[in-house]
Chains A and B, each alone.
Chain A
Amino acid sequence: MADTPEAIKKSVRTYLFVGGILFLGTIITVLVATVPMLDVGQHGFDKWDCILGLTIATTKASLVAFIFMHLNHEKKAVYWLFGSGLCMVCSLAGLTALALGDPIFDNFFYSGH
């Protein structure tokens, strides 16, 4: 993380640049979702819109995390803390995804045929 006045001055330009990219990313997200000409995949919302939208959002979120929250040059302890939180979310979401195999989602469960 920038600590000296010179390094901080230099970082300020980076912050401004990243802010610009975030604004741009937001505009792109809205455009691909609302302008028919830029619609990917099928007409209207489909999995490709979902993938594209989430990819842009993840890129934007990564920029916030790495540049604004200084995760690009943090101490090991921070990586462990934040990383373990992320891993926990992923594993719990993965576990709950098993529920999709639950017969309650199966029409057979209700109708018997």
Chain B
Amino acid sequence: MEIPYVVTPRKDTGLFNSKIAIWLFLASEVMLFGGFFSAYVFLRLGADYPWPERALPVLPGLINTFVLIGSSVTVVFAWAALKMREWRKFQFFMGITVFCALIFMVLKGVEYNVKFHHQALRLTDYSVIEGHLGKEEEHGKPVLDHHGKEVEENLIFIETAKVTFNTVRFHKPWVEEILTQAEHHHSKLVIAADLSAVTQEGQPAEVLAKAGDPLSIELLNKIQKSYLAARSHNAAYRTAALREEWKSAKAANPGKRGWQIASGVNIDADALAPRLLTEVSTVTFAVDPPARFDFHPRDIKEADGQSRLRDDTVIDGKLLDSPMVFHYVDAIDFQFLAMKAVKKGIDPMVAIENSWLIKNEGFAKEAWEWNKLQVAKIEKELIDKYGINKKTGKPNREPTLKERYRIGWKDFIAKADGVDRDKEKIKLKEEFMGPDYSEREAKETFSHLSVPRDQIGFASKFTPAWNTYYAIYFTITGLHGLHVIGGALVLAFYLFFGRKMYLENPEWLANRVEIGGLFWHFVDLVWIFVFPILYLM
């Protein structure tokens, strides 16, 4: 059957099928992205922390804008070439368009990758540190986790004496990790006392594990099986007993509602006890001799004495020094601290001078003093240029909060080179990837820093978890990136597989390319707003 109106327009709308369809789709896309931009506005207005203004590197965003605008021009040229029946020209322009999409995605990938490896840390006093963590080493070699990845110097160390597993929730890879660590420290995990349970109704208790039995997945599985069987068995008896109780209670209280008699309905636990099996919900292993185990902070709620993993495994032992170690720090940000201080009616400068960083880290104090001089210079420049308000006696223009309270990696470099913050020249590669520690001659430019665990308020990579700004940034740019991939695939299809259609019915292909082009222009149109809003404001 021939489908009508794929080339010729319908009389009533004046449009061919796919054009109606694409505009319907674009209308829904306007609502989708409109929703996200609204969300951005509300998150920004409602933010309870200093919103990161101009936090993203401008150069990659700018290049991507040029790339998308360029591709918008070439895609319309490709369509025009088809209309004029110039196949070679069409191939040329469409090829450039698809290549532009590739460049866009590569740059976006680089941008995302840099963020996923960049550590952010908010201290308990609301100072913020940014940088890169060091890697754990042993005998000069990097320590690898069970995925073969290098382990960052951000572990919780516990002198472990006892480990209690939840027999239902235990996470197998973590048990294996604990076993590996015990072996590494020449320790053993063994059951402290015989573990007995009634596994058959009316039978005496059976020994599930003897004192001294070592920890193994098989043993935990065996106990888990017994626990689940016991729970199922006992639940059947409890339910039946409860039903009987309700029946008698209703018979004894005719006309009364359920809630009126509920308090009197109880199972006779003593009568039921002889028929029940033993539910072994936890099992404890002693670590012999006690050993230093390490855990990823995301997996454990640590405490001195008793810590708990996310699978409900309880670790008994002394919490050891577990600092978060920055291989280098590339930003110190006091904006959040200053904001909190102002809210409490404290002078932000006093609050900063008393912060943990300034009091304990010489390099931070030095950088802060340098920053104060820089701010004074900006203040003077602004007064010289814009004067002082005669009524209020205050300068007409003042340094921004970012200039006042944030010392970024470009500032550290400028300080090391002995120049003002706006005079430092940055390498092109660094504009994309951030500061390159290894290539800087002055190693002290980016200092090492060891943050005690009790000073850590919240830590995360620059991912959606860090704050709502990064959450909306990844949502909008991620969704936009998916559109770029989708659009590029469609356009590439026309480029590589459109020849046959071109020979059979060139106008049909021209219509299709026009539709693909409309979508591509829309992708460009969205980016025209994304770039200034996320990168420049």
Contact = CB atoms under 8 A, between A and B. Distances in A.
Contact of B58 (A5, A16, A30, A93): A30
Interface stretch (B27-35, B139-147, B449-457, B487-495): B27-35
Interface in A72-94: 75-78, 81-82, 84-86, 88-89, 92-93
B73 interface: yes
B263 interface: no
A68 B84 CA distance: 17
Contacts of A50: 537
A30 B27 CA distance: 29
A10 to B, nearest CB: 10
B46 A29 contact: no
Interface residues of A, number: 51
B58 A34 contact: yes
Contacts of A18: 73
Identify the interface centre among A16, A43, A82, A105: most chain B CB within 10 Å of its CB.
A43
Contacts of B41: 93
A102 B35 CA distance: 19
Interface string B514-537: 000110011011001101110011
A18 B518 CA distance: 16
B76 A15 contact: yes
Contacts of B84: 5, 8-9
Contacts of B83: 2-3, 5, 8
B38 interface: yes
B458 interface: no
Contact of B397 (A19, A42, A45, A82): A42
Nearest to B382: A43
Given A33-B532, A54-B532, A82-B26, A49 B35 contact: no
A29 B28 CA distance: 28
B532 A57 contact: yes
A47 to B, nearest CB: 10
Nearest to A99: B42
A12 B532 contact: no
B54 interface: yes
Nearest to A107: B343
A85 B524 CA distance: 18
A40 to B, nearest CB: 12
B108 to A, nearest CB: 17
Contacts of B109: none
A113 B46 CA distance: 20
A85 B417 CA distance: 54
Interface in B1-55: 13-15, 19-20, 23-24, 26-31, 34-35, 38, 41-42, 45-46, 53-54
B399 interface: yes
A53 B536 contact: yes
B532 A19 contact: no
Contacts of B69: 19, 22-23, 26
Interface in B366-411: 382, 397-400, 402-403
A100 B44 CA distance: 12
Interface string A48-72: 0110011011001100110011000
A12 B93 CA distance: 13
B486 interface: no
Identify the interface centre among B23, B42, B66: most chain A CB within 10 Å of its CB.
B23
Contacts of B65: 26
Contact of A43 (B20, B38, B400): B400
A30 B431 CA distance: 15
Contact of B54 (A33, A54, A57, A85): A33
A8 B389 CA distance: 58
Given A69-B522, A78-B15, A45 B72 contact: no
Given A23-B69, A64-B521, A89-B31, A105 B402 contact: no
Given A77-B14, A99-B42, A64 B80 contact: no
Given A43-B397, A88-B31, A64 B528 contact: yes
Given A9-B84, A77-B20, A100-B45, A57 B529 contact: yes
Contacts of A3: 83
Contacts of B502: none
Contacts of B72: 19, 22, 64, 68
B536 A85 contact: no
B62 A64 contact: no
Interface of A: 2-3, 5, 8-9, 11-12, 15-16, 18-19, 22-23, 26, 29-30, 33-34, 42-45, 49-50, 53-54, 56-57, 60-61, 64-65, 68-69, 75-78, 81-82, 84-86, 88-89, 92-93, 96, 99-100, 105
14 contacts: A2-B80, A3-B83, A15-B73, A15-B80, A19-B73, A26-B65, A26-B69, A45-B54, A49-B537, A57-B533, A61-B529, A64-B521, A81-B24, A89-B31
Across the A-B interface, the 4 shortest Cβ-Cβ residue pairs: A85-B27, A89-B34, A44-B400, A19-B73
Given A29-B536, A68-B524, 9 more contacts: A15-B80, A26-B69, A33-B58, A49-B537, A54-B533, A77-B23, A88-B34, A89-B38, A93-B34
